[in-house]
Chains A and B, each alone.
Chain A
Amino acid sequence: MIDFKHVTKEYGDTVALEDATIHIDQGDFVFLVGPTGAGKSTFIKLISKELEPDSGEIIVAGKELSKMSNREIPIHRRDIGMVFQDFKLLDNKTVFENVAFAMEIVHCSRRTINRQVPQMLSVMGIEDKANNFPQELSAGEQQRVAIARAIINNPRILIADEPTGNLDPDTAWEIMELINTINRRGTTVVMVTHAKDIVNRMGKRVVAIDRGRIVRDNRGGEYGYDD
């Protein structure tokens, strides 16, 4: 599903990713770990084609990203659900509208939107918050809205950059269970995290990056170091 072949990305003098080669299968669940500034977010931005690599080849869902035209980027991104530490919800839209927004972008009909959004909100356990604004929700609830928005269009890949970074441990676990459920339905998950106990307890594939290099890649792995 995701293939990096000798990918290097530099920002001026800083080498954010160096000669990275990795293969991620369809349906995989990958934790991306490593110290701050290691290049984890850079890795993720390369997948969504927010950044261009300086060298190497990236193939996502069968498509070579460097050969992709600008017009194809939106289509590519619809195949990738994105979740962030800071949720990135629109404050002037209700929970319902925030999720519906993702469907409007792909020109779903009102009827489809009105049917699917409440369904999705109830899967996320926030059906009673549909008409609230993000500010009126707890952090955990806001992240559920963000996840709902990320997967409402059935992307094949879910990318999460420290999705539990702003959550207390209990809420973080609830979110992890949701993401795990999404992964079990067949969605490939790539998740950046600094949460040692989550990584250790989930027992998924762990890829460690340090100073731009992939230094470890093992299944059922451990977080592996202390921050």
Chain B
Amino acid sequence: MIKSALYSIKQAFKQMFRNKGMTFASIFAITAMMLILSLFLFLSVNVEYLTETVKNQFGTIEVFLLDETSKDQAENMIVSFKEMDGVEDAVYVSKEQAMEEFKIRWGDNAYLLNGLTENPLPNAIRITLSDLNSGDIIARFCATVQGVEDVRFYRDEVGKVVRISNIIQRGALVVIAFLVIISIVVVSNTIKLTVMARENEITIMKYIGATNWFIRGPMFFEGIIIGLISAAVSVGLSSLIYVRLCKVLGDQAFRLFSTQLVMPQFLITNIVWIFLALGISIGACGSIISMRRYLKA
């Protein structure tokens, strides 16, 4: 079994080498597809991340308390808030805690906060909503409670962000699916040429009693190897691109959305696996389609 797999792989490399031009062209084409695909993946992942951040930040009602409101009074408010419909949870956030959160969210830019001599943030109660729709009523009620200075609830903004994000996600998915299909077509075309170039050989192999696996193995591996090489090259290139992108756009993104881009280390380790799996699948699908179609019996 291992021996015949090795034989197939060796034959696959031989065939790829014999057909250098076509092999190179298809690797080039699939790498290009995967690079474009990676850009959309980056976009999609970051939009998703941004949306989640926005949801967490603004899918809540912040009830800012007057400085003279005591912790005990706040605890009482929390109890009454929790009894309302549409409230999932309510927690007390002291001004110190709020500052810590700020620093974390600002990440590399947190040094900007060091200039402050005194904490300007108020104590607050953070209400997490189980239902975004009841937010308005709750927010209006909270504003009337004694000891509350201000209430902040960004319902429309959150809705808009979620909607835009959905559109972008869906668009990216369509583009990605499209690119994957094109890649499969490219591989299957290459394998089709292999089948045709080897038609004579295949006929003879059948006469001599070669098993199907013996005949198909090399072509199957040829597709997979092409997919894997393309995946490896595009993982390398797209990682470089993303690191640069973070450098160039990171600050912009922060200024606009007050959140970082998804960290390159995290994204790249994931992309390695995604792309290898994708490369293998594209190669395997391409080969199988062509063998089904052009390899009789």
B200 CB contacts on chain A under 8 angstroms: 88, 90
Contact across chains for B209 and A90 when beta carbons are under 8 A apart: no
Closest chain B residue to A88 by CB distance? B204
Q: Which of A37-92 contact B (CB under 8 A)?
A: 48, 70-71, 74-80, 82, 88, 90
Contact across chains for B203 and A74 when beta carbons are under 8 A apart: no
B13 CB to closest chain A CB (Å) equals: 16
B274 CB-CB contact with A under 8 Å: no
A107 CB-CB contact with B under 8 Å: yes
A160 CB to closest chain B CB (Å) equals: 12
A149 CB contacts on chain B under 8 angstroms: 208
Select A78's contact among B7, B203, B208, beta carbons within 8 Å: B208
Contact across chains for A105 and B201 when beta carbons are under 8 A apart: no
Q: Which of A71, A74, A102 has the most CB of B within 10 A?
A: A74
Contact across chains for B209 and A105 when beta carbons are under 8 A apart: yes
B121 CB-CB contact with A under 8 Å: no
A104 CB-CB contact with B under 8 Å: yes
Secondary structure of the B contact surface, majority rule: helix
* Bound complex: CA A104 to CA B207 (Å): 14
Interface residues on A, range: 20 to 34
Contact across chains for B214 and A105 when beta carbons are under 8 A apart: yes
Scan A149-188; emit 1 where CB is below 8 A from any B CB, else 0.
Answer: 1000100000000000000000000000000000000000
B205 CB contacts on chain A under 8 angstroms: 105
A215 CB to closest chain B CB (Å) equals: 29
* Bound complex: CA A227 to CA B200 (Å): 32
Contact across chains for B207 and A105 when beta carbons are under 8 A apart: no
Q: Which of A84-110 contact B (CB under 8 A)?
A: 88, 90, 101-102, 104-107
A104-B7, A105-B214, A107-B3 given as contacts; is B201 within 8 A of A90 (CB)? yes
Given contacts A74-B211, A90-B200, A105-B214, 5 further A-B contacts (CB under 8 A): A71-B211, A78-B209, A101-B208, A102-B208, A149-B208
30 A-B contacts (beta carbon < 8 Å): A70-B212, A71-B211, A74-B206, A74-B209, A74-B210, A74-B211, A74-B212, A74-B214, A75-B209, A77-B208, A77-B209, A78-B208, A79-B209, A82-B207, A88-B203, A88-B204, A88-B207, A90-B200, A90-B201, A90-B204, A101-B208, A104-B7, A105-B205, A105-B209, A105-B210, A106-B209, A107-B3, A107-B4, A153-B208, A153-B209
